[in-house]
Structure 1
Amino acid sequence: MKKLYISCLFLFVLILGACGNNESAKKDTATEKEKETFTYQSETGPIEVPKDPQRVIALTNGPNALALDANIVGIDEWTNTNPLFEEKLKGVEVVSEDNLEKIIELEPDLIIAGSYMKNIDKLNEIAPTVVYTWGKLDYLTQQTEIGKLLNKETEAKEWVKDFQERAKSAGEAIQAKIGEDATVSVIESGDKEFYVFGNNYARGTEVLYQAMNLKMPDKVQELALESGIYTFSSEMLPEFAGDYVILSKNPEVDNSFMETELWKNIPAVKNNQVYEINTKASTYSDPITLDYLLEFFEESFLSN
């Protein structure tokens, strides 16, 4: 009986040891997987980045990375204040390229930065740092590039294809309702001035003009298409207002212009063809923002 007990005990110890070794092997495999890298062809040249980054700091292009469910531990201030990303950024630290100590504390394994930023060399010493130049890539190619960087190119391309199809369909439906010659302008309120946008300056411009193929007024095309943005005074509001106006309304500035006769007498205002978007929620051209604005534009134009 005693021999049987010892044999069973010995067998039990062997089983426990095997399980422990198995778990240890799994952990080692997972750790090795996290350490695997590949060569990403960045705009500054090839760079070794992790295949499965676990601690990403996005000093720029954070929304693009968020749309692909990146494991973000640090984000820029502007992205953090955007209400569309509030849920996804809970517990994420706000950082800048100037705060190197904080970046080091967050122990990133990948950093995304803007080419205009300072300290790129120092950031590279902390973790592989990939830089992008704003506006160098169109908004869809930019998402695909972030997908390549995060080893999620397939997901990024699938979204691009789906978005293009949905936006094209919505644009055709809107044109059928408002007419192919109807014009749309995107105007933003500032502290003492106003801005009108071309076809690639966020605020839904990529959706309206590129994906939906809606028309902008001639004056907007003349002054804002090439530069992307044109600044003007309130007296010129009627000159830049199209048949329809997308008003990027900043809740933190004086919007009393909306009570003036000048504004109220603009045809788009009189015809109830002004659709307000929140400036804070529309200053990016990432999938989360674009999907949100596409749905908003569909409801606004087609239900009116």
Structure 2
Amino acid sequence: MLFSDYLSRRRLTLIVMVLITALMISACGAADTGNGNSNTETVQTAASDPSKAVETNSEGDSKVKTISTVHGDIEVPVHPQRIVAEEYLGSLIALDVIPVGAPGLTIKNYYFKESLEGIEDIGDYGKPSVEKIVALNPDLIITGNAEKTYEQLSKIAPTIVIPYGDLKNAHEELTYFGELFGKEEEAKTWLEEYDRRIAAAKAKVDAAIPTDATFSIMEDGEKSTWVYGDNFGRGGQAVYQALGRKPPSGVAEEILEKQWAELTAEMVSKYAGDYIIMTSNSSTMEDYKADPIWGSLPAVNKGQMYVWPEERSWYYDPLAVLAQTEELADWLSKQDR
């Protein structure tokens, strides 16, 4: 081997070693950056559902993600620990997400009040106490009605406003919150059981009641009567959505579009179906039978009216709808054809 060849090979070896060393230093630097203590994320804009939010480069419960809301894109904790929920408690409880505060009305919810023992009362539904919420030091606020309070609430903690009606049924609610809290599998499992029980309840009713029988969802307003659609509580979700029943044909389009109407005594017969689900805190079935107007309705004459109190009919969260559907199915399955 010539000496010149030897020098050439030595130079090549040195160059290769320098390049390898440089690459190793560069890789170590990148690894150190990734393991730093920064909690800042580069988060892409999310779509309207939480599953589209992107999480990057953060640690533990300090992670945040960006979601789109009616008030624009906001950053929320990936794992919130102290939630104040003015609305949607049924869906949260189904996913084992228990808030630290909620309105007194929802804390008393007939269908899950035991799950909320010890939860702080934040005041009236729709008009929460800002002072009480501040005292709870929340890291996330969830509400369906914050037109007047959003500016104040959003200064306390990230505030997600989901207007009532945007999530139209149990599937939309559980799916949304499952994605928000990273509990997609829990939501899927809960909904599978929900669907199974709803299907069983519907089968009981279909076996006992003609499929073309009409239903009315009503409430005693003392001086007037109110009639409701399929997304306004009082059993509407249970009857029209879960059991698949319909209002009287002459008023069905109006009721399902507007969702409510106030009736005078003279209008009641027009809106009365073959079956009436009536919310009343003061009148009984016997009272309706004795009333000249109500007693003349076929549904009342035949005993095809179900009277229950507001504390059982008013709520419309997934837990309530499931329980209401099974309660009404038990009653309907005992009716004569």
Distance 1:143 1:117, change over 3 A: farther
Identify which range, 191-200 or 75-84, moves more after superposition.
Answer: 75-84
Q: CA deviation at 1:283?
A: 2.3
The residue identity in structure 2 corresponding to 1:105 is A
- In 1, the alpha carbon distance for the partners of 2:104 and 2:332 equals 33
Structure 1 equivalent of residue 255 of structure 2: 224
The residue identity in structure 1 corresponding to 2:247 is M
Tell me the C-alpha RMSD between the 2 structures.
Answer: 2.5
Distance 1:81 1:169, change over 3 A: closer
Query: TM-score, normalised to structure 1's length?
Result: 0.80
Distance 1:108 1:168, change over 3 A: same
The one of 52, 69, 88 aligned to 2:96? 69
The residue identity in structure 1 corresponding to 2:100 is V
Structure 1 equivalent of residue 330 of structure 2: 299
- In 1, the alpha carbon distance for the partners of 2:137 and 2:283 equals 35
Unmatched tracts of structure 1, length 5 or more: 1-31
- In 2, the alpha carbon distance for the partners of 1:59 and 1:252 equals 31
Q: CA deviation at 1:171?
A: 2.2
The residue identity in structure 2 corresponding to 1:133 is P
- In 1, the alpha carbon distance for the partners of 2:167 and 2:60 equals 31
Q: CA deviation at 1:108?
A: 0.8
Structure 1 contact 186–203 (Cα < 8 Å) conserved: yes
- In 1, the alpha carbon distance for the partners of 2:73 and 2:189 equals 25
The one of 265, 269, 281 aligned to 2:312? 281
Distance 1:205 1:79, change over 3 A: same
Structure 2 equivalent of residue 199 of structure 1: 230
Structure 1 equivalent of residue 105 of structure 2: 78
Structure 2 contact 65–78 (Cα < 8 Å) conserved: yes
Structure 2 equivalent of residue 99 of structure 1: 129
Distance 1:282 1:149, change over 3 A: farther
Find out whether 1:49 has 2:76 as its counterpart.
Answer: yes
Distance 1:258 1:128, change over 3 A: farther
Identity over aligned pairs, percent: 35
Please list, as runs of the form range in 1=range in 2, the aligned pairs for 1:113-262 lying within 5 A after superposition.
113-140=143-170, 141-251=172-282, 259-262=290-293
SS in 1 for 2:117: coil
Please list, as runs of the form range in 1=range in 2, the aligned pairs for 1:255-270 lying within 5 A after superposition.
259-270=290-301
The residue identity in structure 2 corresponding to 1:91 is G
- In 2, the alpha carbon distance for the partners of 1:88 and 1:265 equals 43
- In 2, the alpha carbon distance for the partners of 1:276 and 1:232 equals 18
- In 2, the alpha carbon distance for the partners of 1:179 and 1:71 equals 41
Structure 2 contact 289–301 (Cα < 8 Å) conserved: no
- In 2, the alpha carbon distance for the partners of 1:303 and 1:98 equals 43
Unmatched tracts of structure 2, length 5 or more: 1-58
- In 2, the alpha carbon distance for the partners of 1:149 and 1:252 equals 43
Structure 1 stretches of 4+ moved >4 Å: 255-258
Structure 2 contact 198–326 (Cα < 8 Å) conserved: no
Q: CA deviation at 1:270?
A: 1.6
Structure 1 contact 246–274 (Cα < 8 Å) conserved: yes
Structure 2 contact 98–116 (Cα < 8 Å) conserved: no
Q: CA deviation at 1:232?
A: 0.3
Structure 1 contact 202–282 (Cα < 8 Å) conserved: yes
Q: CA deviation at 1:115?
A: 4.8
Query: TM-score, normalised to structure 2's length?
Result: 0.72
Structure 2 equivalent of residue 25 of structure 1: none
- In 2, the alpha carbon distance for the partners of 1:274 and 1:257 equals 9
- In 2, the alpha carbon distance for the partners of 1:113 and 1:148 equals 17
Identify which range, 132-141 or 244-253, moves more after superposition.
Answer: 244-253
Structure 2 contact 214–274 (Cα < 8 Å) conserved: yes
Find out whether 1:89 has 2:124 as its counterpart.
Answer: no
- In 2, the alpha carbon distance for the partners of 1:139 and 1:59 equals 18
Deviations 1:135-166 (A, max 9, x none): 12212313321222233232223333432343
Q: CA deviation at 1:258?
A: 5.7
- In 2, the alpha carbon distance for the partners of 1:261 and 1:119 equals 47
SS in 2 for 1:230: strand
Structure 2 contact 207–333 (Cα < 8 Å) conserved: no
- In 2, the alpha carbon distance for the partners of 1:49 and 1:153 equals 17
- In 2, the alpha carbon distance for the partners of 1:98 and 1:247 equals 30
Deviations 1:65-112 (A, max 9, x none): 233222311112331343323212222222155522221111111101
Structure 2 contact 277–306 (Cα < 8 Å) conserved: yes
- Give the total of aligned pairs: 272
Structure number with greater Rg is 2
Structure 1 equivalent of residue 321 of structure 2: 290
SS in 1 for 2:118: coil
- In 2, the alpha carbon distance for the partners of 1:168 and 1:98 equals 38
Identify which range, 169-178 or 228-237, moves more after superposition.
Answer: 169-178
